[in-house]
């Protein structure tokens, strides 16, 4: 494969919601459509209730699965009700991507103003799997994908990207 060819990644999508099912999960479907149109492979898509232990169980399973290079979650990042995605995911991370949440909120501010302060989206790396947790709105998923993830999951993006960290022959960590 030439250096200029995009290397497709294997991506799992998790929707965290107490109210969504496959027919009403617009945010999860938006992420799937975007990642597939960018040339990546969706390896699994699931929906779980906003419960710390159910979220953690699914994500931990994907982290341990060598076929999953990227995990995208949508939902559960706010302050209301049972929102618990950050509490579920943060303990699983080997490294936090501090700039992801900061950049997402900066970009989101342009769209929704100060309400973005309630977004607790986060990103990190665990066992050579990169994880990004986005808010549950379709607009937030579009913003996160179009303004950050599309480039950062493209192995051709310079000067750096997260794709090259999860591609086994290029990454510094390997699934094992």
Tell me the domain boundaries of the chain: 10-166
pLDDT tens for residues 114-173? 998 999 999 999 999 999 999 999 999 999 999 999 999 999 999 999 999 998 765 444
- CB within 8 Å of 58: residues ≥ 6 apart: 14, 46, 48
Question: How much is the pLDDT for 170?
Answer: 55
Instruction: Give me the percent of the chain exceeding a pLDDT of 70.
Output: 94
Angle (CA) 47 83 103, round 5°: 95
C-alpha–C-alpha distance, residues 90 and 110, integer Å = 27
CATH architecture designation of domain 10-166: 3-Layer(aba) Sandwich (3.40)
pLDDT of 175 over the 80 cut = no
Q: Are 11 and 42 in contact (CB under 8 A)?
A: yes
So what's the pLDDT on residue 169? Answer: 67
Tell me whether strands 122-126 and 129-134 are parallel, antiparallel or unpaired.
antiparallel
Could you read off the pLDDT of 98-118 as tens digits, one per residue? Answer: 999 999 999 999 999 899 899
């Amino acid at each position: 494969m030439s250096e200029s060819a995009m290397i497709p990644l294997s991506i799992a999508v998790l929707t965290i919601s107490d109210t969504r099912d496959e027919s009403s999960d617009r945010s999860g479907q938006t992420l799937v459509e975007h990642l597939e149109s960018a040339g990546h492979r969706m390896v699994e898509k699931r929906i779980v209730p906003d419960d710390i232990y159910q979220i953690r169980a699914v994500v931990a399973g994907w982290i341990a699965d060598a076929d999953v290079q990227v995990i995208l979650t949508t939902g559960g990042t706010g302050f209301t009700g049972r929102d618990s995605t950050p509490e579920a995911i943060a303990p699983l991370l080997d490294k936090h991507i501090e700039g992801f949440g900061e950049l997402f909120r900066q970009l989101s501010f342009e769209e929704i103003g100060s309400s973005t302060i309630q977004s607790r989206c986060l990103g990190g790396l665990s066992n050579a799997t990169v994880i990004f947790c986005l808010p549950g709105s379709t607009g937030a998923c579009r913003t996160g994908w179009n303004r950050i993830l599309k480039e950062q999951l493209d192995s051709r993006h310079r000067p750096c990207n997260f794709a090259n960290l999860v591609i086994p022959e290029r990454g510094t960590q390997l699934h094992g």
